[in-house]
Amino acid sequence: MQDRKKGILVVSFGTSYEETRKKTINRIEEDVRESYRDYQVYRAWTSGMIRRKLQKRDGIFIHDVKGAMEQMKQDGIKEVIIQPTHMINGIENQLMTEDVLSYKDEFEKIEIGAPLLTSQEDSDRVVKAMADIYSPTGEDALVLMGHGSEHYSNSIYAALDYQFKDEGHSNIFIGTVEAYPAIESLIRQVEKRGVKRVILAPFMVVAGDHATNDLAGDEEDSWKKRFEAAGYEVRCVLRGLGEYEEIRDIYMDHIEACVERLEA
């Protein structure tokens, strides 16, 4: 039986792609419900554009962060854990944190979990998971597409690329759609490896618009078309990180750290 005085709010950017939502965001939330049965689990999405699109197109209403905090307050929740499914502690995560902390006087306790890539241990686990899941052969390059951010936390992408190489995964590369490393850098780096094939995969929780269009689309500027134009055989794997248990486990451990702080 749930103790309705305790709640976990899972905060995502959101996606308008139903198929990937079910496999990623929904799956993370299901894991939370399964592991924390004495908590009421709530959902919030930070993208107003996506929330409005779902409301208009599908009749699905999803709270923003403040709306979800209001709902928990109305439901009598006293202790709150906020767990973002964000990749990094960038702009979206900071805005979320500001919204949450504006309610700090409305609840007895609030704990905010860390995004996916926060500690070095997180990075170690993600590097191992990607290498184990994809295991590119000597003639393949695995190129992962991150979102990227103007925020200084964007440097994690280049750091992870370095870590892959440092740990012997010379054929794994990470770039971003909207920041550095960009596609031009990736093509130059892959050319140095002398590979014949490129595997493209999203390095994002969901395989939504960026994966479908920027990565695997048929427009000339998509990553698929750019690598094909550079002479490579390209295969796209449209699976969001939320589909992988190894990744979901990191979020679960971040929630567990919040539980431990609440109970300390």
Q: Using alpha carbons, select from 51, 30, 27, 54 the residue that is nearest to residue 41.
A: 30
Amino acid at 94: Q
Beta bridge partners of 7: 40, 80
Contact in structure between 138 and 171 (CB atoms under 8 Å):
yes
- Quote the crossing angle between the two packed helices 245-263 and 25-35, to the nearest 10°: 40
Q: Which residue has the tokens 């779902």?
A: 54
Determine whether 147 is an active site residue: yes
Beta bridge partners of 197: 140, 233
Residues in contact with 204: Cβ distance below 8 Å, sequence separation at least 6, in sequence order: 87, 145, 146, 147, 210, 211, 240, 241
- What DSSP letter does each residue of 30-53 carry, written as one string? HHHHHH-TTSEEEEEE--HHHHHH
Q: Other C-beta atoms within 10 Å of 229: how many?
A: 10
* Rg (alpha carbons) of the chain, rounded to whole number: 19
Catalytic residue among 147, 169, 210, 254: 147
Contact in structure between 43 and 10 (CB atoms under 8 Å):
yes
Give the separation between CA 87 and CA 179, rounded to whole angstroms. Answer: 15
Residues with a catalytic annotation lie at 147
